[in-house]
């Protein structure tokens, strides 16, 4: 099977949400011993989970599995980040040793962390916990032309979908999309601008920490990258957009979302990189976004634009700007709580509580 055929097969496996289960969940919410709507957007989460699972109430989406997709970026050469490229590989080692923030948050949430090398620019020592699916030693510089070939993008998408299917097979009931890649907020800004049509100035941020002068330069690099790649354009398909200005981790995250949707398992999105991956997934299969929950809103400005464009409401807003899946892992207990309400809270009838007059 070619990578293009693999992607087409995953897309064909994505069904719409189960409307009857979602309707039953909304009706059940309204019978629970609380004023109607009192759980705010957690009620929408419970309804969404029922539509995803196709049952009411939905199973509690536990345990969660985090996949951290790691890759490097040719645009690093443009001086868009103060961090050396080696930090991507070094942080992969840190994830594998259990020493990163995502490991601590995942331990708290009872989630596993799987690290997937889709494009790190170094050979990583093989260890049983690292999934080596390297497609290239980093992308080409998007400010000069296409970051990758269409086939590379398709392979990364198919890889992300396979990882999602594997994690579900191993018992995950909720998937979390994380990333690691020095310079990937530049590629994210280019993707967000390409898909939302917003000016690079509005969607480019400070990433892992830059001064005002470097931010101005980064905005110009994003602008040059879009121009060099003929974007934005309605005529360019989403796979081609991620191939031209995205990263291998963005493409893999898009595939991971498609894979979660095909398996009818909820996927919690992290920050601007996962969000940009979701824009790609939406361009390939719009209904895949129905299987997504926005874990948090990142401080990176392109993330708010992304969530608005996708119509997703973030569960947590703590001004995080780390990536790795951290914001999504923090939201996982909230998603589980929303589901648990539907199993355990009494109804007005069962508890003998009088209803509003």
Ligand X SMILES: Cc1cc2nc[nH]c2cc1C
Query: Which C-beta is closer to ligand NCN: that of 240 or that of 324?
Result: 324
Closest CA to 120 of 135, 142, 131: 135
Q: Judged by CB under 6 A, does residue 277 bind ligand X?
A: no
Pairing outcome for strands 130-132 and 64-71: unpaired
Query: Which C-beta is closer to ligand X: that of 154 or that of 324?
Result: 324
Shortest distance (Å) from residue 188 CB to ligand X:
12
Shortest distance (Å) from residue 220 CB to ligand X:
22
Shortest distance (Å) from residue 170 CB to ligand NCN:
24
Count of residues that bind ligand X according to CB under 6 A: 8
Query: Which C-beta is closer to ligand NCN: that of 58 or that of 105?
Result: 105
Name the residue number minimizing CB distance to ligand X.
323
* N residues, the chain: 357
Shortest distance (Å) from residue 75 CB to ligand NCN:
9
Burial letters 47-71, b for 16+ CB under 10 A, else e: bbbbbbbeebbbebbbbbbbbbbbb
The entry of ligand NCN, ligand X, none that residue 295 binds, CB within 5 to 8 Å by partner kind: none
> Binder to ligand X among 165, 324, 332, 336 (CB under 6 A)?
324
- Our answer to whether residue 324 is catalytic in this structure is yes
Q: Judged by CB under 6 A, does residue 253 bind ligand X?
A: no
8 A C-beta contact, residue 200 and residue 226:
yes
Closest CA to 190 of 152, 141, 154: 141
Query: Which C-beta is closer to ligand X: that of 78 or that of 184?
Result: 184
Q: Judged by CB under 6 A, does residue 299 bind ligand X?
A: no
**354 CB-side CA count, 13 A:** 2
Nearest-5° Cα angle at 297, 55 to 147: 100
C-beta atoms surrounding 139 within 10 Å:
32
Torsion of CA 270, 271, 273, 279, to 10 degrees: 80
Rg (CA), the chain: 20
Q: Judged by CB under 6 A, does residue 87 bind ligand X?
A: yes
Q: Judged by CB under 6 A, does residue 348 bind ligand X?
A: no
Interface region with ligand X, contact rule CB under 6 A, candidates 217-225, 230-238, 247-255, 316-324 = 316-324
- Single out the catalytic residue among 235, 308, 324, 355: 324
Q: Which residues bind ligand NCN (CB under 6 A)?
A: 81, 83, 179-186, 207-208, 270-273, 298, 300, 303, 321-324
Sign of CA dihedral 104, 106, 110, 115: negative
Query: Which C-beta is closer to ligand NCN: that of 240 or that of 270?
Result: 270
Q: How far apart, in whole angstroms, are the C-alpha atoms of residue 203 and residue 7?
A: 29
Which residues of this chain interact with ligand X, rule CB under 6 A? 83, 87, 91, 180, 208, 322-324
Which sequence positions are flagged as catalytic?
Answer: 324
């Amino acid at each position: 099977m070619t990578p293009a055929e693999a992607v087409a097969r995953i897309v064909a496996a994505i069904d719409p949400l189960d409307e009857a289960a979602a309707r039953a969940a909304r009706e059940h919410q309204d019978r629970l011993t609380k004023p109607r709507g009192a759980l705010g957007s957690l009620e929408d989460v419970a309804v969404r989970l029922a539509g995803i699972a196709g049952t009411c109430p939905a199973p509690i989406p536990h345990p969660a599995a985090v996949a951290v997709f790691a890759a490097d970026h040719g645009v690093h050469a443009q001086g868009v980040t103060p961090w050396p490229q080696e930090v991507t590989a070094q942080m992969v080692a840190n994830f594998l040793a259990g020493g990163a923030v995502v490991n601590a948050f995942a331990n708290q949430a009872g989630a596993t962390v799987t690290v997937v090398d889709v494009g790190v620019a170094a050979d990583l020592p093989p260890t049983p916990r690292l999934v080596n699916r390297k497609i290239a030693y980093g992308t080409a510089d998007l400010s000069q032309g296409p970051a990758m070939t269409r086939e590379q993008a398709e392979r990364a998408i198919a890889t992300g979908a396979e990882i999602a299917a594997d994690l579900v097979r191993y018992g995950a009931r909720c998937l979390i999309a994380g990333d690691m890649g020095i310079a990937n907020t530049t590629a994210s800004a280019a993707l967000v601008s390409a898909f939302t049509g917003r000016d690079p100035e509005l969607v480019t941020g400070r990433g892992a920490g830059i001064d005002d002068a470097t931010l101005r330069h980064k905005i110009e690099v994003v602008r040059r990258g879009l121009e060099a790649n003929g974007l934005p354009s309605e005529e360019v398909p989403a796979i081609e957009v991620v191939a031209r200005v995205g990263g291998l981790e963005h493409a893999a995250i898009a595939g991971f979302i498609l894979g979660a949707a095909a398996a009818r398992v909820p996927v919690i999105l992290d920050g601007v990189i996962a969000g940009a991956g979701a824009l790609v997934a939406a361009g390939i299969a719009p209904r895949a976004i129905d299987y997504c929950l926005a874990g948090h809103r990142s401080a990176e400005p392109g993330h708010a634009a992304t969530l608005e464009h996708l119509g997703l409401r973030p569960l947590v807003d703590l001004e995080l700007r780390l990536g790795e899946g951290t914001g999504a892992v923090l939201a996982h207990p909230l998603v589980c709580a929303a589901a648990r309400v539907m199993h355990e809270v009494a109804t007005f009838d069962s508890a003998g509580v009088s209803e509003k007059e």
